Amino acid sequence: MVNYEGKSVTSGGDVSSGNMIFEPILEDGVFRFDCSVNDRHAAYPSISFVNSKDRDTPITNDKVPSYTPTFQCLLEQQVVKLELPIGTSFYGTGEASGQLERTGKRVFTWNTDAFAYGPETTSLYQSHPWVLAVLPNGEAIGILADTTRRCEIDLRKESVIQFVAPSSYPVITFGPFSSPMKVLISLSKAIGTVFMPPKWSLGYQQCRWSYLSDQRVLEVARTFREKRIPCDVIWMDIDYMDGFRCFTFDKEHFRDPKSLVKDLHDNGFKAIWMLDPGIKQEEGYFAYDTGSKNDIWVQKADGTPFIGDVWPGSCVFPDYTQSKARVWWANLVKDFISNGVDGIWNDMNEPSVFKILTKTMPESNVHRGDSELGGCQNHSFYHNVYGLLMARSTYEGMILANKKKRPFVLTRAGFVGSQRYAATWTGDNISTWEHLHMSISMVLQLGLSGQPLSGPDIGGFSGNATPRLFGRWMGVGSLFPFCRGHSEAGTNDHEPWSFGEECEEVCRLALKRRYHLIPLIYTLFYFAHTRGIPVATPTFFADPGDPSLRKLENSFLLGPVLVYASTVCSQGLDKLECTWPKGIWLSFDFGDTHPDLPALYLKGGSIIPVGLPLQHVGEANPSDDLTLLVALDEHRKAEGFLFEDDGDGYEFTEGNYLLTHYVAELQSSAVAVSVHKTEGSWERPKRRLHIQLLLGGGAMLDTWGMDGEVLQIILPSEEEVSKLVSASEKQYKERLESTIQIPDVEEVSGPKGAELSRTPIELKNGEWVLKVVPWIGGRIISMMHIPSGTQWLHSRIEVGGYKEYGGTEYLFSGCAEEYTVLDRKLEHAGEEESVVLECNIGGGLVLQRQIYLPKNAANVIQIDSSIIARNVGAGSGGFSRLVFLRVHPTFSLLHPAESSVSFTSVDGSTHEIFPDGREQFFEGNLIPNGEWRLIDKCLGLALVNRFNVAEVFKCLVHWDSGSVNLELWSEGRPVSKQSPLRISHQYEVVRIP
């Protein structure tokens, strides 16, 4: 057995609850809290802080915290609670799906391969035990639970933040400060700022799992140039490798990676290649042999290397908690870079392990970590920082390869502080409108948690995007800090030209728009790197004290630019309703108005730099013209900044850059635009400067001159300005009306491709008449028992009825999702009336339901429900995400006072449940023994529901006003093609005494 090193944990010392003790650290307004002095001394080193000593070293001041957390230690868990004023809004919690405003949510920090996650998924790929709280008056406070272990962040109680994690750990509060921005700036001083990205990494990036040959890669690159769609980077997923062995190349399809990269470079592209942590266990494979020689693998509790299945088969895993393992990996990366590698993509580094229900390695595994990280610990201690440490090792390897170039690393797994080494994306999302909508909040939450360089897989990773969905997603995704399109194997092509001419043109316009704004985005990243200011922020940052802005989820700020996007299929820009923060907000575009593109507004008082719409960031611009968009505030003034350097390397840290502070001011009847001051030794380019003064409604005045000179624009009279604005608004409206929206061509699911029926399907036999509507969740809306004349289902077309849920995270089907009718009146022996329905629920899964009325049992309805794996995707190892099947009928109570549910359990106990407005679960031996009854004593009838006990994990009775849900739940587990989830059940009406 391994002898563990490190400090013992006191679990609160001799105190089990009370107020936490504090000491000021870092700077004014930042406090460290511990349960006791003993706990403070016993705390493990901070991995989230840039310098762990900053957390452990008190500073001298006489300030006391405005809010003090309380703690309670129970069963080796430390519960920390911070109560704030009513009306406080919560944000942050890191990489989290679902709503922007986090009140009512609960998150668990446990890095998880969360393929095809939903809005209620509680653990994703990264862990950030951090909450940003905006107080009712607009001030803000942040709180960090500085623990690497699994941590529950519970925000379900209004204005109360609660962390629950194994004892003992400190919490750090930042503020309250006057604004949420100041909290984030303070946080960055503790955990570090984002690495300064090379300028080329801010262009559009094209990826797929996978481009299967170097010829296909070059074909994609050539098509971008031929179609004049801007793009800077092509990505290589795992299939470039020889048998998925990291640091190798497929000898047939990627025979000469240096030549491939040279061709890409000659055409203005960079190349990014994937590296996973799983190293194939194979003697003779250099990575395995050298790693074994250096003894750097994660171990099992018995001291032998842990072996788990990933893409190459049996794999060992580097223990990045050891400096010798990080050096070993960094040197492999250094050699790998010599092939012309421009950037590296770290995937599967939660770490993800196949053929295991938890999808990761056992928590009993052992990491022989450096003392400054926490020493020798089991995997539960280091799990959440495994991806961060891998990204750090990769980053350091790229620096070893070339100290004059900035590394670019993308990581899937991360922790607080990983922004110092890597960008991130929001993982394996789904091609749905819901995921488009959610991508905005997810990017913003990461920014509010210290990770400003992020974005989603544009168009969705899993499933097939429709043309309108893809175009709309590109419209908003082109304005995220990180901009990459990516899709999984087995889906349709998802390059911008793959969806028809209208979508291609929208993508071209959207990406040109991004390239116009590259000077602004690059400047914002300079401020993010040097000051800790987020690149994209929620709309309420414009006025934190305005509660009406705090829940806005279809808009965000890119510096002073307000982006408003539609995430509703039927609602284009022409129907978009906007809520503006206080102040002046002037609309602008680049002559690219389109219903499927977002609306852009510039805040009054701002100047932003705008470039030409180049093919790619590195493309030479012969004229080097620069445009400044100017929007005056109510005082007729404006200001803005432009950061410039060579776009790569570190000379900017030695002063070789140019930061220009431009100002504009109305002087008499002219607006003068000039350079107020500059920083840095970079020589100002000799270039023309184009000033565009926004007037409102898209109208503008402009002038040309030389950059560095004072330029003036004469303002016309108010009447003339009004005419210009009216004319511009009219032209804008006409352009919108004359532009054709992208058609929303839906792909119908299922192998037969049958068209959806828009007429309810009716099934009928001697005792039953059923009506099914495929276009609204495949719902059964009518279940009429002919002999008694009783309608058992409580429903209208839009609500109620019989439906199904699939997945532990959220409602997949039964709400508005369309089912495909696969077959009707099947000619199966013993069946008279039958229909098979199917709905794509993402992630390679379908929810299938067969409804039939058997010939030999005219008194029975049979329903067989299943979750089937058709094409489970990347990261799954043949298994889907964790799912369960929930049969959810809503039955009518014609006589509630005379109704009840009765059954005999598996253990022989009898139960009779009467309406009381409650929800009751029955599990284990308490579930019905294959049958339960909904009884109406007034009618003298019972609806009998029979089912296969082996397929049902628990049952639910939920009473409501005039209705009851009798639900059957399967177990929750991943499914494969060989292991679907099923619940087979039937209904019959019987007479009772």
Residues belonging to the active site = 347, 350, 428
**Cα(906)–Cα(902) distance, integer angstroms:** 13
Cβ-contact 853, 861 below 8 angstroms:
yes
CA nearest to 112, candidates 320, 378, 412, 409: 412
134 exposure class (CB count in 10 Å sphere: 0-12, 13-18, 19+): buried
Cβ-contact 379, 367 below 8 angstroms:
yes
Tokens of 555: 């808009």
Strands of 351-403, DSSP E: 366-368, 376-378
**Residue 870 CA neighbour count, 13 Å, CB half:** 20
The dihedral region occupied by 842, where left means phi > 0, alpha psi between -120 and 50, and beta the remainder, is: left
**Cα(624)–Cα(607) distance, integer angstroms:** 19
Strands of 241-346, DSSP E: 270-275, 279-280, 308-310, 313-316, 343-346
Reported as type and span, the H/E element at residue 56 is: helix 52-56
CA nearest to 587, candidates 732, 475, 728, 696: 696
Tokens of 289: 């042999």
Torsion angle (degrees, nearest 10) of CA 296, 297, 303, 307: -160
Backbone phi, psi, residue 220, to 5°: -60, -45
**Cα(386)–Cα(276) distance, integer angstroms:** 12
Q: Name 770's bridge partners.
A: 763, 783
**Cα(771)–Cα(778) distance, integer angstroms:** 10
- The whole-angstrom distance between residue 347's C-alpha and the CA centroid of its chain comes to 15
**Cα(503)–Cα(468) distance, integer angstroms:** 7
The amino acid sitting at 943 is: L
Which residues have a Cβ under 8 Å from the Cβ of 866 and sit 6 or more positions away?
847, 848, 849, 885, 980, 981, 982, 983
Burial string for 251-281 (b: 16+ CB within 10 Å, else e) reads eebbeebeebbebbeebbbbbbbbbbbbbbb
